[in-house]
C-alpha cells in the first residue's frame, strides 16, 4: 500500500459550521463589482484554509470571501484550489489569502 504525504502546513479541525460567502469578481473598469452570495458548510478548518461543502460548482482560482467563521472577527478572503463533486453538491478546498 502506497502512503500519501500530507501537504498541508497546518493541522485541520473537523467542523460543521454553516456560513455565508460571496465571490469576488474583477469589475469592469470604473464600476464596482457586485458580489454574488452563497451559503455553505465549513467541514474542516485550519489557519491556512478550509474545506467547504457547497451547492454551486465554482472553479479553481475563484476568489471568495467567507463570512461568519468562529474565531475570526473579519471576513476571510480565500482562493478555491480544488473542487470535487460530492453527493449532488461540491466539496471545495479554500486557501486563505493573508491580507
Q: List the domain boundaries for the chain.
A: 13-96
Q: Is the pLDDT of residue 62 over 50?
A: yes
DSSP 8-state assignment for residue 67: E
CATH number assigned to the domain covering 13-96? 2.40.10.220
β-pairing, 37-45 vs 76-86, is unpaired
- pLDDT digit string (tens) for 5-18? 455 577 778 999 99
- pLDDT digit string (tens) for 38-53? 999 999 999 899 999 9
Amino acid at each position: 500500500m502506497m502512503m500519501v504525504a500530507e501537504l498541508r502546513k497546518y493541522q485541520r479541525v473537523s467542523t460543521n459550521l454553516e456560513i455565508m460567502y460571496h465571490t469576488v469578481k474583477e469589475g469592469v473598469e470604473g464600476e464596482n463589482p457586485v458580489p454574488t452570495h452563497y451559503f455553505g458548510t465549513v467541514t474542516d478548518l485550519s489557519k491556512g484554509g478550509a474545506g467547504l461543502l457547497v451547492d454551486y460548482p465554482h472553479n479553481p482560482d475563484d476568489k471568495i470571501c467567507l463570512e461568519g467563521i468562529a474565531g475570526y472577527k473579519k471576513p476571510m478572503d480565500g482562493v478555491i484550489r480544488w473542487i470535487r463533486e460530492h453527493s449532488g453538491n461540491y466539496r471545495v478546498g479554500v486557501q486563505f489569502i493573508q491580507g
